[in-house]
Every structure is written in structure tokens, then in C-alpha cells.
Structure 1
Amino acid sequence: MPAKVVVVGSLNMDLVTRAQRLPRAGETLHGESFATVSGGKGANQAVASARLGAQVSMIGCVGEDAYGEQLRAALQAEQIDCQALTSVEGSSGVALIVVDDNSQNAIVIVAGANGLLTPDVVAGFDTVLMAADVIICQLEVPMQTVGYVLTRGRELGKTVILNPAPATSPLPADWYSSIDYLIPNESEASALSGLPVDSLESAELAASRLIAAGAGKVIITLGPQGSLFASGQSVEHFPAPKVKAVDTTAAGDTFVGGFAAALASGKSEAEAIRFGQVAAALSVTRAGAQPSIPSLSDVQAFKAS
């Protein structure tokens, strides 16, 4: 029986246009291409967990619009359980993205239905949380909802993962004791710890501060430098697999989803971290967010080679 991972989080339709450069204030440019791509950190992590071997349920909200139908269909195509995906009045979440020829971008996110994922909505699907082995949250839905899920996950004795993204300030102090694995990237670890994170040494200091705040264990993802794992008793650096990067979109989400799927399937922490790293490395060799996320067979083939 595949492992059970429940993702509580965001779903966005990414509206992506490419232009030679980013527009200046008041300027109109001719775009070179346009695409609509299913995204949102919650949905990305759910897709990653599903493709990488887990049985997955998604708790979230979409609008009663065409994008909501497409976002739901994209998850269902990955065999993700959508019984707890609620349709609400208004628009689905969207991300308006302009990418220039140098791969620099400008992004405007409209929360839409994601802002209506309240604690009461989540509480209505408590049986879904109860069936989980691992619960994953991010920060693209209301903070009070994230806090509720962390607390409820701890009450139920589940393994709780928080990917604190996007993070611009410290987390509420009472959250930490409910987090088994806190997984920020460098900038998020810096925002949460108040320390600069630009090397392995500084990442170790930041991780120590976050564990002192009450987090169970911390994994700081460091891009091409790999990741740093801190448990309070020990610290270990995991180098990243060497690949030629094309697009880093959703690499962090792929790592989180892969780590959760591997951990829930019974792999050790070290095995789960290495598994997540291979999945993330493969994702950066492909363009796009969800389209770049590899399958379990992709990871197995890479490891075998």
C-alpha cells in the first residue's frame, strides 16, 4: 500500500508570458509567448509526492471558474484524492508571470480562493488528516489555517512538515513545537532566523537557531550546494547531484514532495533527503513547474546510472 501524504495548501494557475525584457511602469510590450500552467506550492508538492510514489490527498480551495476546473483536473490526472478540494465563489488563485530573455521574472500573485482556506474548512475534512502518515504545509494560505493544521497534526501524532515559503519574517513562536521537519531555502532560513545564510557555516548557525526556537529538525535547501540537515544532536551536509540546470522553478517543491514520499514509505531521513535531492536535480533539467517534476521511475533510473 503506498504511503499516505496529505498536502494542505495553495493551488494557482500560472499565467506565463515571455518578452525580450520586463516592462517599465506604464509601458506596453509585445509578448513572445503565453501559457497557462497549473501551479501553486501546495499543488506542486502534492504532484511531486504522487509522482514519486505516495498516495496523496489535497486539502485546498479553488474558485468556481474555468481555472478551478483545470486545477482540479490536473491533480486528478496524477491520481491525487481531491475529496477535500473545495470550490468557493470567486476566482481561483493566479500568478501573473513575465519572463525576459535573461530568465529574470516579475510575478504578481492573487490569492483568490487560497485566501478562503480557513481552519473551519480544513476541520471539515478531519478524517483526511487522520488517514495521513505525513502532513505538509506551506505559507500561501492564511496563517491561522497553517497554525491550525500544524497543531492538529501534532495532536493526531502525524509527521508534520512545514515548508515556510514564502517567508519574510519569523514564524509564530508557538508553531515550532508542532513541526517535525522545517524545510526552508537560504532566503527563508535567513528570514526566519534573522541571520544571513550564504554558506554552509552560516546555514548551520541558522539551523541551530531554528532548532533552539523549538523545531524538531531542520533541512535547509541550498540549491547547487545541496542541503544541510540539523537534528539538534548532529549536523550533516548532503551534496547535490551534478546536473545541467535549465529551469529551477519548483525544485524546492519537488524536494519537499520527494522527501515526504520517501519518508512516509519507510526510508531513513538520510535516504529521504538523498531521494528528494535526486528528484529536485532532475526537475531543474526541465522547463516549467509541474511539467518538470520527475516520476519515481525517473529517479530510480538516475540513481542506477
Structure 2
Amino acid sequence: MSTILSARSVSKVYSTFSLVGKSAPKTVLSDVSLDIAAGESIALLGRSGSGKSTLGRLLLGFERPDGGTVSFDGSDLRGLSGEAYRHYRRSVQVVFQDSLGAVNPRHTVGRIIAEPLRHLTTLNPDECDRKVRSLLMQVGLAPDDARKLPTQMSGGQLQRVCIARSIGPSPRLLVLDEAVSNLDLVLQMQMIALLKELQSTLKMAVLFITHDLRLVRLFCSRVIVLAEGRIQEDEPVVRGLQLGSAEGRLLQGAILPARPVHRALEPAWPPPTASERIVATTQAWPLGDGFGSARASRVVDVRSGGIVRLPRLP
């Protein structure tokens, strides 16, 4: 497989400024090297502050490395200009974590999706409109959604809009920077299924920047573990993946089990006495004086696996 994007001995240092002067430089990335080949799905895995988003910004050309090189099709990004730079921008697209912050809230969904088509392709206005409708359907939205504003869309719908915008120019590489982290579990699974389908259909490579190893197992064929600005591990994702680095094992140990183990709960309260009656959960109970007070209430079993606090009945 041909290499689309590569980094060689990349480093990045930040300095902050305040009223008291310049702070000590902080090294965010140090001697990072990687290759992204056509059709690959790679996870860049790490905790907050590991440098993974900074590396993503360097690969996208949003920032320049302080050391080393980032190359697209063998050419240093710093030397790209004119049509070569347009080709790079068309070939490498991104979906960010904050979908609302990534769009102009005053523009319609159709205009948002059409923007890269107008700047990076040769489509005329009518062709752009048809392409926008096609892209909306491709990500599971209705063509009529093109007339809506971002504030009229749910979080999951708006992230689909951002995905539609990013795949419009037919990229060879899609960078997903925590693109599903703000979604609930059900929407995450739906989005992963959509991305897998799009990758298979469009034959594009994907760099999936995340801190969640569960999603890595579902979507990626290779995982790169990053910690303190350095690559700790680069492994293929296989069934029963066991990461070998200390950072990888830490991230692996932080995963909640997909199917929690069910254990019988020991009763913490004595069963209700003969003088107490259990009220059916469907029966309305008027709130009166003393309801919920320590003197006038206690917790009683209502059915297997459930408890409820009820007032004592006369």
C-alpha cells in the first residue's frame, strides 16, 4: 500500500506568555514518526495531554513542527503551494469533536457542506447542490435538511453534517479528532457503523484520534499509543488485543466491561414488618407531613431488584 502521509522525528514545543513574561518551553511532542498508508484505519490512542491532538494538527498542516518533517505523497508540507497544496487539502480532511463549534451557525446545512466543494473541486453551482443532497443521504440525513440551520439539528445529526462536509471532496485520508466523544453510547455505535461503511465505500484511510480503547477495537486495524509526547506502542488490532506498554495497559485497565457482572445484592435493611404494608409502585401517594423524614419513613423491598422509600402507613 502506498503511503499517503508520514511524520519523521517530529517534535513540537509550546511557550506561553503572561504579564510576568514568557514561561519555560513545554515539549508536547518528541521524536514522533509514523506512516499512514492508503485504506488503513489507525487509532491514535492516549490520555488527555498526551499530544495526540497536537500531532493531528501537524499532520493536517494547521501547525508546523519545530523539528522533523511531515510529508504528503513524499513531499514536505512546508514546500507545498498552488495546485499541490489544493490537492493536499482536498485529499486530507478532518472531523472535529465539537460539531457546533466547527460550523458557522448562521449558514444553512447545505451551505456548510457545499463550502469545500466550491473551494476544492471544479463543480458548478447546480452540481454542488446535487452533490450536497447526495452527501446528506449518504450519511443518513434527509435532502430537505439542507435548508436547516445548525441550531435546528441534534448533536448526532450535526456531526453527520460535519462528516458529509469532510467526505465531499473525496479525501484519501480522514482525520477524526475525538469525533464521537461528545455523543452518547448509542450514537457512538451508530457513528462508528456509518464511518466503517463510508471507509469501505470510499476506500479512504482513517486516523482515529481517541482515548477510548473500546471504539478502537470496533473500528481500527492498528493502534498507536501516545504518552507524554512519545509513541509508546504501535500494534495491529487483533481479537483479544493486549497492549504491552505501561501506558497501553493503563488505558486498557480503565475500560468498563461491556457486560457488567451481575451479583446478588445483600439486603441492607430488614424486611418490612407485619405492621407495614408495601404500596404498589403504580399507586399514587399524596405527599403529606412527615413524608421522607427519618422518623416516618423507611426503605422496603417492592419487588426483586428494587427498593423504594415509603412513608409509614396508619
- TM-score higher than 0.5 here? no
Q: Which has the larger radius of gyration?
A: 2
More helix by share: 1
